[in-house]
Amino acid sequence: MSEVSTSIRKDISLYCSSCGASFPPDMRLLACTVCGEPLLVKYGEISTNPHMEIPVYSCNALVSLGEGNTPVIKMDKLGSRLPCGNIFAKLEFMNPTGSFKDRGTAMMISVAKGFNIANLVEDSSGNAGSSVAAYCGKAGITAHIFVPSSAPQPKLDQISVYGAIAHKIEGTREMVTDAASDFVDEKGYVYGAHKLSPYFLEGTKAFAYEIARHNLGEMPEHIIMPVGNGSLYIGAWLGFKELIFKGVISKMPKMHVVQASAVKPLVNLFSGNRKEEPIGITVAGGISVSNPPRSKLIGEILLETGGHAAAVDDEVILEWQKILAQENGIYCEPTSSSAFAGLEYLIRDGIIAKKESVLVAVTGFGLKDNLYI
């Protein structure tokens, strides 16, 4: 491993939230060597200033494309379908590569640059791959992106146009991960997997800081989003925790998870369903993750925050994609409209009351996916 550049904070370590083991920062260490759980970043000291803690020294060390500070709009045209007066949408697709991934990628690639990494390997359903491709291009790092050959063409195109080397793999999403990890072993490159990288979560943490800064009247009582590996979900929770510690906010929102009915390991975990289920196919490709590596932590966050995990059918996901586009001018991918399908379910089930405030993350842009409607 090359020498640690001065841009990486000296007071950080990596730690395991499951067994408490801690390790020096390293781009190659992605799981606890004691128990195998993925790791998180720990800061020696968290200041009480309202700024976010980041693992690099200064903002100048950030490889940035202007990510974050996405707009929040009030959803006032959901009518009888969602009879809830206080629904806000945070338009994550307005990030530079069209999805929420960019804050996480900016941080992960800044750290990679700090470690003088020359080649980085990522596997993705498409959005993380295109985000990593863009930021690596800017950082002068060669990106090797492993994607399913069935990924939507616009995402495959985006990866190539940014200049990354796209490795298209036939088969399941798990086969894509296996191919990436074999390639890492063979070449000795760094595996910058967004689903495992602790630094990626330090970037998505900014989502929470932005919510606290938005002038919404009060902090939303509920946050809801599509969750596959949980890189926004966990990052947002880390951010809210930091904000509570710093005294910026007083209460943790309830953090809800939405998954597709065809691939719902987190919903099964939440409801205690331990039966092995066949994995199906869904239009929500971004959350088609059968075995999320951080599911233990996601389960803990659901419990701690009082969140729910809801499964929604493809038919309803596509209906919501249409409602959002035709009545609200929001063109998001089906993975993202699933969050509104989940919200409808949670309101109908009485888990979210009509008078409560909700913020929905609209995670990815419609033009990046195939058209199913």
Per CB under 6 A, residues contacting ligand PLP are: 99, 125, 127-128, 226-233, 286-287, 289, 333, 335-336, 363-364
Looking at residue 178, its amino acid is D
d(CA 329, CA 182) in angstroms, rounded, equals 43
Closest approach, Cβ 90 to ligand PLP, in A, equals: 12
Residue 35 contact partner, candidates Zn ion, ligand PLP, none, CB within 5 to 8 A by sort of partner? Zn ion
Q: How far is the CB of 120 from ligand PLP (least distance, A)?
A: 17
User: How near is the Cβ of 80 to ligand PLP at its closest, in Å?
Assistant: 27
Q: How far is the CB of 5 from ligand PLP (least distance, A)?
A: 27
Give the integer Cα–Cα distance in Å for 363 and 92: 5
Partner from Zn ion, ligand PLP, none contacting 363, C-beta within 5 to 8 A by type: ligand PLP
Nearer to ligand PLP, 191 or 233 (CB): 233
- Cβ of 355: how many Cβ atoms within 10 Å? 9
Tell the burial category of 168 from Cβ atoms under 10 Å away from its Cβ (0-12, 13-18, 19+): middle
The site partner of 281 among ligand PLP, Zn ion, none (C-beta below 5 to 8 Å per kind) is: none
Phi then psi for 169, rounded to 5 degrees?
Answer: -115, 130
Alpha carbons 243 and 233: distance in angstroms, whole number: 15
Among Zn ion, ligand PLP, none, residue 232 binds (CB under 5-8 Å by kind): ligand PLP
The smaller minimum CB distance to ligand PLP, of residues 40 and 227, is found at 227
- The phi and psi torsions of 168 (rounded to 5 degrees) equal -90, 125
DSSP string, 48-94: SSSSPP-SBS-GGG---SS-----EEE----GGGS--SEEEEEEGGG
DSSP one-letter string for 140-203? T-EEEEEEETTS-HHHHHHHHHTT-EEEEE-S-HHHHHHHHHHHHHHH--EE--TTT-HHHHHH
Q: Which is nearer to ligand PLP, 99 or 158 (CB)?
A: 99
Cβ proximity to ligand PLP, 86 vs 125, nearer residue = 125
184, 198 contact by CB (below 8 A): no
231 binds, among Zn ion, ligand PLP, none (CB under 5 to 8 A by kind): ligand PLP
User: What does the binding site for Zn ion look like in residue numbers (CB under 5 A)?
Assistant: 16, 18-19, 21, 32, 34-35, 37
Of 103 and 254, which has the nearer Cβ to ligand PLP?
Answer: 103
Question: From ligand PLP, Zn ion, none, which one binds at residue 127 (CB under 5 to 8 Å depending on kind)?
Answer: ligand PLP
Comparing CB distances to ligand PLP, the nearer of 99 and 150 is 99
